[in-house]
Amino acid sequence: MHPMIDRLRSRTAAFVHDLLTIPLAWLLAYWLRFNLDAIPAEFMASWQQSLPWVVLVQGSVYWLFGLYRGVWRFASLPDLVRMTKAVTAGTLLVVVILFIVNRSELVPRSVPVIYLGVQLLMLAAPRILYRWMKDHRLNLSSGQRVLIVGAGRAGDLLARDMLRGSQRAYFPVGFVDDKLRRQGGEVQGLPVFGGTDAIAEIVVREDVDLLMLAVPGATAREMRRLVELCEQTGRPFRILPELRSLMDGQINISQLRPVSIEDLLGREPIELDWPEINAGLAGRQILVTGAGGSIGSELVRQIAGAGPARLILLESCEFNLYRIEMELLESHPDLSVSRHLTDVTDAAAIAALFHAERPAIVFHAAAYKHVPLLENQLRAAVRNNVIGTRIVAQAAAAAPGCERFVLISTDKAVNPTNIMGATKRLAEAICQDLDGRSHCRFITVRFGNVLGSAGSVVPLFRRQIERGGPVTVTHPEIERFFMTIPEACQLIMQAAVIGDGGEIFVLDMGEPIKIRYLAEQMIRLSGQEPGEDILIEYVGLRPGEKLYEELFYASEELVATGHPKIRVARQGTGLSAAELLAGLEALQGYVDAFDETRMLSRLQALLPGWRRPSRVAPSEAHAAVENPSA
Pairing of strands 471-473, 536-538: parallel
**Contacts for 64 with CB less than 8 Å, ≥ 6 apart:** none
From the centroid of its chain, how far is CA 587? 44
From the centroid of its chain, how far is CA 495? 22
What gap in Å lies between CA 202 and CA 175, rounded to an integer? 10
What gap in Å lies between CA 479 and CA 564, rounded to an integer? 24
**Contacts for 392 with CB less than 8 Å, ≥ 6 apart:** 289, 344, 350, 362, 364, 366, 405
What gap in Å lies between CA 396 and CA 286, rounded to an integer? 12
Please return the burial class of 409, using the count of CB atoms within 10 Å of its CB with bins 0-12, 13-18 and 19+: buried
In 275-398, which ranges are E strands? 285-289, 310-315, 337-341, 361-364
Q: How many Cβ atoms sit within 10 Å of the Cβ of residue 130?
A: 14
What gap in Å lies between CA 627 and CA 619, rounded to an integer? 13
What gap in Å lies between CA 389 and CA 391, rounded to an integer? 6
412 is catalytic: yes
Helices (runs of H) and strands (runs of E) counted in the chain = 23, 21
Asked if residue 329 lies in contact with residue 372, where contact means CB atoms within 8 angstroms, the answer is: no
Asked if residue 596 lies in contact with residue 379, where contact means CB atoms within 8 angstroms, the answer is: yes
Assign 129 to helix, strand or coil: helix
What gap in Å lies between CA 98 and CA 195, rounded to an integer? 60
Q: How many Cβ atoms sit within 10 Å of the Cβ of residue 456?
A: 20
**Contacts for 455 with CB less than 8 Å, ≥ 6 apart:** 369, 370, 625, 628
Assign 585 to helix, strand or coil: helix
> H/E element holding 174?
strand 170-176
| Active-site option among 134, 179, 369, 412 | 412
What gap in Å lies between CA 231 and CA 298, rounded to an integer? 33
Task: Determine the angle formed by the axes of helices 515-525 and 220-233, rounding to 10 degrees.
Answer: 50
Assign 545 to helix, strand or coil: coil
Catalytic residues: 412
